[in-house]
Amino acid sequence: MQTRAGDPGAFAHFDLNRVASPAFVVDEVAVRRNLAVLKDVRERGNARVLLALKAFSMWSLADVVGEYLDGVCASGLWEARLARQFYKGELTTYSPAYTAQDLPEILRLSDHVIFNNPAQIARFGAVIAEARAAGETFEIGLRLNPEHSEGEVAKYDPAQPCSRLGFPVSQLRPEHMVGVDGLHIHALCEQDFEPLSRIWAAVEPKLAPLLPGVKWLNLGGGHHVTRADYQIDRLVDFVNEIGRRHQVQVYLEPGEAVALDAGVLIGEVLDVFDNGMPIAITDISATCHMPDVIEAPYRPAMLGEAETGVTARLGGPSCLAGDIIGDYVFAERPTPGTRIAFLDQAHYSMVKTNTFNGVPLPAIVLWNSATDQLRTVKSFDWTAFRDRLS
């Protein structure tokens, strides 16, 4: 995958030595900038916009998110609990499958609970009825697979062949809509408006006869709305038109768009030696701190990378042979103590960190580029590793 990171923004002038290494540093001003774009879509498009916690769940900014958006969406019980503890507004929960143990609490916490197929809804019918009899108020949704693929990488494409995500739209029948208040379609990943338009063009004729009586249509996430080249006005017109034509409330669930280009991961070179090229070991681990670098794979953009000079291979301190971040150009050969930073790391990287090999977790730092206020909101010691184990 090609990184979508754009201009480093205020981080171009940030002193990398101001924080302990390694550390995620998130600029509140940049987050607010993204949220303002999404609020504009929300207001002009008559849409409801939710933050996808799976991408960005830095709850120290929950009140900031609440100033701009309608709420959040969760992927299971733990995210739903986080949502209700820290965030304001609506909560939508979707998971490919629920357990009988978790579902009653999910129904209690959520405004919308979206199921992966009609058989799940039927199987849990008694649980749903019991929750409503106890006074819980929620609506039921059904996720659909549009069977129209726009994904650039198969493993990130929810509409890939034999996908586990969503009920195939070609199999949807009127009887499947009994008890269903809304439909959910999510088939994008870091994409602009055109793929969304094509997906809807493919599924609308199939859905139109079933939409009367449906209260809402959730178009999921993957919308790169805050990217500089996104066609915002077309999105606004699009969601307005769907709402008017089918008399539904349209929802969007951006995750990455909330934190796009809003944070960096700062690290330090620990050692350098030669093996065909300079090899720099850093305290940033691809496998522990930026797993998408390996899983996607992709090459994250490095702040201030030189155009010419010395090319060094950067890799992490773990024992995994594939813990390689990439090859980067430095004006001069890096040395132990050299600070580095990778752009666009506020989303997904933070929520995917792990302690494989006992590699320490990066601190989480909140910066306000307008006031220059800097605050470490979370740091980790070795107990973060110890307490995951037994």
pLDDT digits (tens, 9 = 90+) for 190-221: 899 999 999 999 999 999 999 999 999 999 99
* Segment 65-75, tens digit of pLDDT: 999 999 999 99
Task: Compute the average pLDDT of residues 111-126.
Answer: 98
User: How far apart, in whole angstroms, are the C-alpha atoms of residue 182 and residue 180?
Assistant: 6
Residue 356 is classified by DSSP as: G
In order of 192, 337, 363, the CA distances from 267 in angstroms are 31, 9, 11
Which residues lie below 8 Å from residue 32, measured CB to CB, with a gap of 6+?
Answer: 64, 68
pLDDT band for position 2 (cuts 50, 70, 90): low
Task: Walk me through the domains of the chain, giving residue ranges and CATH numbers.
Answer: 9-25+262-386 (2.40.37.10), 45-259 (3.20.20.10)
Report how far residue 28's alpha carbon sits from residue 263's, in angstroms, rounded to the nearest whole number.
Answer: 9
Give the mean pLDDT of the chain: 96
pLDDT digits (tens, 9 = 90+) for 367-387: 999 999 999 999 999 999 999
Closest CA to 82 of 112, 52, 49: 52
How many alpha carbons lie under 13 Å from residue 255 in its C-beta half-sphere? 24
Q: List CB contacts of 204: < 8 A, sequence separation 6 or more.
A: none
Give the chain's radius of gyration (CA, Å).
22
What's the predicted TM-score (pTM) here? 0.96
Which pLDDT tens digit goes with each residue over 296-350?
899 999 999 999 999 999 999 999 999 999 999 999 999 999 999 999 999 999 9
The single-letter DSSP state of residue 7 is -
Question: What single-letter amino acid sits at 311?
Answer: T
In whole angstroms, what is the distance from residue 52 CA to residue 319 CA? Answer: 33
Return the DSSP state at 229.
T
Contacts of 289 (CB under 8 A, 6+ apart): 22, 265, 316, 349, 353, 359, 361, 362
What crossing angle do the helices spanning 232-246 and 28-44 adopt, rounded to 10°?
A: 40
Q: Are 141 and 114 in contact (CB under 8 A)?
A: yes
**Collapsed DSSP state (helix, strand, coil) of residue 169:** helix
